[in-house]
Amino acid sequence: MGQTTGHQEDTARTRQRSANDYDAFAAAYAEENDDSLANAYYERPAMLALAGDVAGRSVLDAGCGSGTLSEALRDLGATVTGIDASAGMLALAQQRLGGDVALHQADLNDPLPFDNGTFDDVLASLVLHYLEDWAPALTEMRRVLRPAGRLLVSVDHPIVAYTIQEPRPDYFANTSYEFEWEFGGQRVPMRFWRKSLQQMLDAFASAGFRVTSITEPQPLPEARDLHPEGFAHFSTSPGFLFFALEAVPPIPA
């Protein structure tokens, strides 16, 4: 009885904390992210494959977290700038990257601290599903891209997002769902936003982007032995959806 009550009290305290507060668990998340199946052997390699040859390109890592993707892009020869809303995550990114990557604290709901046409590429890796409204972020990403610049996006696959919680909500509604992640025994509250595929495509088009590819990659083959259960799952059920988009020039008035 005491254990049950304690668990209920812990869960209540967890829910009282604000969702998506990465400052509260930055170090634990970064340690997990560096070598997890979903990130190290699935999403991050797929994003880098989508980016291709970035040598000599100016790249914005939007939602850079602790800097693992920024580090890989830097090592491939890109000039990388990283932004994140979490000061704790940026501190970890600074430790990882030193002075090789310019880092800025910025919220994707706000104007970005860059001039028009600053970047060749913007990478938004597993970040847009934190936002209820994609329009402000996508408009700013389009603004800071050079003509014909690329936006590369990964998000939770809409099929996955709509089967996490029962009863299943309206697929076509823009709704949020809450859940808990656990890192090192610490439970942390998270909130993501669901969009249908059509809503995603409409948001990209409204912000001035043209879709060049939509992909559903699978984890790296070496994950079969390292993470056999997870590999079997992600090899048969999509986890993430990837978009490559091109900034479309505005139509002359």
CA 142 to CA 210: how far, in whole Å? 11
* Per-domain residue ranges of the chain: 19-146+156-247
Ranges in the chain, pLDDT < 70: 1-17, 164-167, 251-253
Question: Closest Cα partner for 200 from 245, 143, 249, 248?
Answer: 245
**pTM for the model:** 0.89
| pLDDT, tens digit, 9 for 90 and up, residues 18-49 | 788 888 888 888 888 888 999 999 999 999 99
Q: Is 75 helix (H, G, I), strand (E, B) or coil?
A: helix
Question: Closest Cα partner for 70 from 87, 86, 90?
Answer: 90
* CATH class of the domain whose range is 19-146+156-247: alpha beta
DSSP bridge partners of 193 = 176
Q: Is 175 helix (H, G, I), strand (E, B) or coil?
A: coil
Contact yes or no for 207/237 (Cβ under 8 A): no
Question: Closest Cα partner for 76 from 94, 104, 96, 56?
Answer: 56
Rounded to a whole number of angstroms, the distance between the first and last alpha carbons of the chain is 70
pLDDT at 166: 65
